[in-house]
Amino acid sequence: MRTVSRSLLRRTTNSSILCRKNQTPSSISSRLPGSFPPLPLPLLLPTACHHRFCSTTPIMASPPEYHKALSRLSALQSNLAITSLFSIPLPDGTDRNAAAIPEMLFWLSRAGLSPETIASSGLKCVHVAGTKGKGSVSAFVGGILAQYASTEVGVYTSPHLVDQRERISLLSPRGDGLMIDEERFGKYVNLVWDTMTEEARKQLGSDVKQGDLEGPGTKPFYFRFLTIVALRALIDEGARDAVVECGIGGEYDSTNVLPKESVTAAVVTQLGIDHVGMLGNTVERIAWHKAGIFKEGVKAFTIRHPRETVGEVLRARAKEKGAELVEITDEEVRAWKGVQGGKLQGPFQKGNMALAIFAAREHLIKTGHKFEGRFGVDGEWRLDDIPEEFVQGLKQASLRGRCEVLRDGKDGTEWLVDGAHTEDSLAGVGEWFASRIAAVKGTTDGARILVFNQQERDPRALLTALLKGAEQEASGSKQVFTHAIFTRNEELPPKEGEKRDLSVQIKAGETVEEYSSAVESKVCDSVQSAIEQVRALAANARTEGKECQVLATGSFHLIGAVLRRINE
């Protein structure tokens, strides 16, 4: 166990003293201020193994083909390795994005697919781009379509948090959605892998060694490969309806090989600053990229952006692409009461639900469904007119690590988890947590714990947005949280002699201290240590007859680790 308070870290120049020799964590904790209790102890690509793609919980009964698939996926070049290249400009000034779609079409053909074969398969997709909310919108659209479908509805999203299969869901008609099973996941990963190997053999022949042909060097990087696997699975499984979420951007995203014949509606969710190296450092530039999924003759939906210049970019792109842009106003969303009692919670979800309703309605009309009453007439229907099937679809929609409420498998403590990495997203998360504790009896005077990390972005700005969002929802109170724990993303404590840089976590703790002296903060070097701190605080609260609620937010890597540890 290795945890240390912020104040102790400020007294040393070496953050590696988490546990000095001959000092136990308990002896350190006993000297720290605060109420944290002491704890017990191209043709050939370069490749890189990134084991975060592998499931960390072995399932002995899993099919051999599934384990083979996981092993192969772990050898692919990671998305992070690709996106990091965009921070280094090419010497001739060439845009690294320019080759993205031609390269993706090449890999698609190597897997035996093409835009033409996708179009002829009969698969019809709602295509979703955006900075925040695109996962929720995708889940909502999928939930609605499943209420009407006669076959499984496909949903392709990213990233995964615990299991790679989360990226490909097959929603049963009028039933709960499930990620693709191990047998089918293994089948399609290996099918695409082997097909690419054989095509490479035909093209390269004896010029390349057998081992290189069969290895990851003749395969695209991870996200491209999984996108192709998803398309292969949806087509071969006979899915007629699907929701496809972009990975990064839109214009040059791997999913943008979908032909216009296969797209029934496009959605651009809320926009903000993200992936600056690839998309640009202004919302207007990012809007240009996101609108790249617009297709000729296909309606596109967005919520009108408060900055008019962003709306101008989206409208110009729609005109350029030959698409009709439908802009939903904030007034429409505010006037609608929304759908209560769903699995994806939070006041900000109303806007995501509204986008999903517009897109799902358009998809169903395009695929031959006829609605009765005003809901079937363009320009006359309102959000309050949605059919019961839409209500049920919105309620049933779920997405791992997004506005998810669950209980710790060991002590029953309630955890609210939501991955968020932009200021706008974190402000919404803060509002959600504050509204939740206000609504649940017995939590306003209990322990309210924040677990946070965002390793690669400015923690001060992100934390401030989170705290301000919570404060606003709590009528100006700065005491929404009683404790804050800042941890790295590593799931397990460091090995003997291993040093971990905790400067980001220290800075986060200082930010909270400046915001409110009533919040006690702690720095941890692993998610396991952070969870043990939470369990100790929860136990203390229960001895006093009080409740404990925890908000885990920030990095999706953190959220994935939290989900694995508390579900053990």
**Cβ neighbours of residue 466 closer than 8 Å, sequence gap 6 or more:** 426, 427, 429, 430, 450, 452, 553
Q: Residue holding tokens 């932009």?
A: 422
Rounded CA separation 345/434 (Å): 12
Q: Which residues pair with 178 in a beta bridge?
A: 170
CB-count exposure of residue 284 (10 Å: 0-12, 13-18, 19+): middle
Rounded CA separation 475/107 (Å): 53
In this structure, are strands 548-554 and 414-419 parallel, antiparallel, or unpaired? parallel
- Please report, for the chain, how many H helices and E strands are present, in that order: 21, 15
Q: Decide if 152 contacts 170 (C-beta within 8 A).
A: yes
418 is in an annotated binding site: yes
Q: Decide if 237 contacts 124 (C-beta within 8 A).
A: no
3-state secondary structure 97-146: HHHHHHHHHHHHHHCCCCHHHHHHCCCEEEEEECCECHHHHHHHHHHHHH
Question: How many degrees, rounded to 5, is the angle at CA 254 between CA 175 and CA 144?
Answer: 20
- Of 430, 395, 415, the C-alpha closest to 566 is 415
Q: Which residues are annotated as a binding site for ATP?
A: 402, 418
Q: Which residues are annotated as a binding site for Mg(2+)?
A: 158, 245, 275
Q: Which residues are annotated as a binding site?
A: 158, 245, 275, 402, 418
